[in-house]
Structure 1
Amino acid sequence: MTQSKRIGLVGLSAGGSSWASRSHLSYLNSNPNYTITALQNSSKESAEAAAKAWNLPNVSTYGDPESLARDPNVDIIAVSVNVPQHYKLTKPAIEAGKDIFVEWPLAKNLAEAEELYKLAQEKGVKTMVGLQARYNPSVIKAREIVKSGKLGRILQTTMFGHGLLYSPQIPPSYEYTLPVENGANLLTVPFAHAVDGLAYVLGELESVSATLGNLRPELSVIDGDGKELRKAKKTAHDVVSVTGTLVEGGGVVEITYMGGISRTDRNFYWEINGTEGSLLLEAVTFGHIQMYELTVKLILGDGEAKKVEDVQVEKPGEPDKGDHSFNVGKAWDAWAENSEDIVDFKHAVLRHKMVDAIYRSAEKGTKEKYL
């Protein structure tokens, strides 16, 4: 029997609101391929509190990444914290020769991501990044249908979504997303997760042409009761619009993401049109397809011969109740199985290059390549 891999988890808070507790903990605790053997937070005391709160009595606890990286009872370090901290928490793990998982985005900018990827190559460590939209059962089903040829040649695709971030009000815990240089915003998180799913189904874009808008440059920071605490400036963009053509077949691509939640209940809509048929994927709730369920419709033929089929897909857990472990768990499954579907640092750098190309295109008004 293969020995389970020992996980050093970074970012598990004592409360239930951290992404680590909502997406990784239940999966890692229930899968025999993995064992959590260490926790690291901003302080040793914080890590100890998390170990107690989540009934992890036998784990080692640390307050700094270097100490965790030196732990001989850790095989894989999983970094699940806010994006601006990714680089400083990831680099010591790679330097120590540990295999490494990091949430998406890999880093707050392309330069940091490329440095981490190069270092991982030099050290020969195994890497994974949390671009788990491609593990959404609906996205997998869409890929299967496209690859089967049922739609014929892909002519065009339109994707539209609301990314929750940047409604007129924001809690203090999300203030770090307001400066564009922090690399955690509408473009880099919900849009990038969704476009990675699009690329998984249809392939990469030959180039991108982008328009970005920061139309709400000041937001209200509110407490849990909705009371305004202060005003905060925002330099990150709240509207992202990208067009391009597919490398495979030249089909035209249109993608738009907005902040907040849709007033018309259209939080995510993705239409794929081919010569023989179309696919329609829609959100059951929110526009984060890496987290939430999508419905799938297959439409074949035209006019009176048109047939519409509701495609049955596996439901990804109970995300509306705060459990986001389904798609994340599929990513960990791929790691355990040494699957070709592991999304590694090389792929993360490619997606960072795409994001960088979108910024350049919007700034210069030019068509930009990223491949």
Structure 2
Amino acid sequence: MNSNPIKVGIIGVHPEKGWAATAHIPALKALPEFRITAVSHNKPEIARAAALKFGADHGFGTTDELVNDPNVDLVVVTVKVPRHLELVTKALVAGKAVFSEWPLGMNLPDAETMLALAKSKNVFTAIGLQTRSVPAVSYMRDLIKNGYVGDVLSVSIIGSGIIWGEEISESYQYTLDMANGASMLHVPFAHTLDAALYALGLGLKSVSGALSNSRSAVRIAETGNQIAFTAPDQIVVGGLLENGAALSAHFRGGLSRGTNFHIEINGTKGDLILTSPVGYVGLGGFTLKGAQRDEQMHELPVPSDYETSGLEDGFSQSVGVAYSRIASDITNHTNLSPTFEDAVNLHRILNAIWSGKAEPHDV
């Protein structure tokens, strides 16, 4: 055990379910650089049960108690997006380092507000763009950086939202309202685009997009009721990278019987293809293939040193890699983690896609 671990307080923890229990806590438990000292839930009895189960010192019924606890160094925000502005603001005002799940805010102005406050407080921030921590994506980035594909010529992306199809769970109903900032555009598409740009080591020079609904209604799984489907279930994006290479992307709601996840990078010296049987970059199960010169496409196994020991492929592993980078940033003053500034930049790209067009200086 680290003699001086980073003390973590997690907002929004249930002992039996939820993103914190599924991904964050297993990751933190596997890393000696951290210790969970506090958890919170808006129901005090649930907070206490979560603290008991996960070994936290305190289970708080309010956010104010957690962010003002002197035994919390890093506040982690794992609740639904509509509450991010309120809760992140409280943590920043208390002077705490903050790791917020993505999306940072429901919209660009919210994200910009949190970034400005973080800068004024001069505190450490990290954003949950954990797709950058997926071992296959990190390996892909290093291959490109070391010249495997040569100069990038084009990037093609196909993805499926998994939800936003013909049926949706009641707990995800809030994702059907674009105003909540958790639609297919904001979550699986944004994570996938961010992963691709991170692997490329390139930004976007220009981007435009079109969003549409191929379904007018969606069925609630628990009740069978049909409700209006207003969030886009089709996303088509085109753009140019900083080096002039073309980028195209198509995301569709639900799951396809064919291709559900595919990122293809074509270059002057070689090609890389990242695939998965599911439609979301965070779920794991990736296969990375490549070829140079006259080679046939062949699998490129990801070296074991890209993985976090003790964590299985999937959510908790990518979150674990993200936390190990956060530990390095806080302790050794490295710059490995995506920050609130990165979050604002991604929000700006989504805004440009949503509006239908963007000039280079907009992204």
TM-score over 0.5 for the pair: yes
Answer whether contact 2:157 2:250 (CA < 8 A) is retained: yes
Alpha-carbon shift at residue 370 of structure 1 (Å): 2.9
Matched with 2:279 is 287
TM-score normalized with structure 1 length: 0.90
- Aligned pairs, number: 352
Separation (CA, whole Å) in 2 of partners of 1:369 and 1:287: 31
Matched with 1:252 is 246
Code of the aligned partner of 1:292: G
Matched with 2:28 is 28
Answer whether contact 2:50 2:59 (CA < 8 A) is retained: no
Separation (CA, whole Å) in 1 of partners of 2:86 and 2:358: 34
Separation (CA, whole Å) in 1 of partners of 2:205 and 2:74: 35
Code of the aligned partner of 2:158: F
Matched with 1:310 is 299
Matched with 1:297 is 289
Among residues 184, 188, 191, which one is paired with 1:193 in the alignment? 191
Matched with 1:94 is 92
Matched with 1:213 is 212
Answer whether contact 2:233 2:252 (CA < 8 A) is retained: yes
Alpha-carbon shift at residue 154 of structure 1 (Å): 1.2
**Which SS does the other structure have where 2:149 is aligned?**
coil
Alpha-carbon shift at residue 137 of structure 1 (Å): 1.3
Alpha-carbon shift at residue 369 of structure 1 (Å): 4.7
**Which SS does the other structure have where 1:20 is aligned?**
helix
Separation (CA, whole Å) in 2 of partners of 1:86 and 1:63: 17
Code of the aligned partner of 1:168: E
Answer whether contact 1:133 1:291 (CA < 8 A) is retained: no
Answer whether contact 2:9 2:75 (CA < 8 A) is retained: yes
Separation (CA, whole Å) in 2 of partners of 1:314 and 1:370: 37
1:49-88 superposed matches below 5 A: 49-52=49-52, 54-56=53-55, 58-88=56-86
Code of the aligned partner of 2:328: E
**Which SS does the other structure have where 1:160 is aligned?**
strand
Separation (CA, whole Å) in 1 of partners of 2:298 and 2:84: 43
Code of the aligned partner of 2:236: S
Answer whether contact 1:24 1:325 (CA < 8 A) is retained: yes
Matched with 2:257 is 263
Answer whether contact 2:162 2:254 (CA < 8 A) is retained: yes
TM-score normalized with structure 2 length: 0.92
Separation (CA, whole Å) in 2 of partners of 1:366 and 1:195: 16
Separation (CA, whole Å) in 2 of partners of 1:290 and 1:370: 27
Matched with 1:343 is 338
Code of the aligned partner of 1:267: N
CA RMSD across the alignment: 1.7
Matched with 1:354 is 349
Separation (CA, whole Å) in 1 of partners of 2:54 and 2:123: 30
Q: Say if 2:154 is the partner of 1:156.
A: yes
1:44-72 CA distances to partner (integer Å, 9 max, x unpaired)? 122112223x242x521222222211111
Alpha-carbon shift at residue 138 of structure 1 (Å): 1.2
Identity rate, percent: 34
Separation (CA, whole Å) in 2 of partners of 1:180 and 1:119: 25
Q: Which moved more, 1:168-177 or 1:323-332?
A: 323-332
Among residues 172, 175, 178, which one is paired with 1:174 in the alignment? 172
Answer whether contact 1:277 1:299 (CA < 8 A) is retained: yes
Q: Which moved more, 1:234-243 or 1:185-194?
A: 234-243
**Which SS does the other structure have where 1:337 is aligned?**
helix
The 1:204/1:366 distance shift into structure 2, 3 A limit, reads: closer
Code of the aligned partner of 2:284: Y
Separation (CA, whole Å) in 1 of partners of 2:251 and 2:362: 20
Answer whether contact 1:358 1:368 (CA < 8 A) is retained: no
Alpha-carbon shift at residue 2 of structure 1 (Å): 5.5
Answer whether contact 1:300 1:306 (CA < 8 A) is retained: yes
The 1:231/1:369 distance shift into structure 2, 3 A limit, reads: farther
Unaligned runs of 5+ in 1: none
Unaligned runs of 5+ in 2: none
Separation (CA, whole Å) in 2 of partners of 1:367 and 1:256: 21
Q: Which moved more, 1:100-109 or 1:333-342?
A: 333-342
Alpha-carbon shift at residue 84 of structure 1 (Å): 1.1
Separation (CA, whole Å) in 2 of partners of 1:94 and 1:173: 29
Answer whether contact 1:95 1:123 (CA < 8 A) is retained: yes
**Which SS does the other structure have where 2:123 is aligned?**
coil
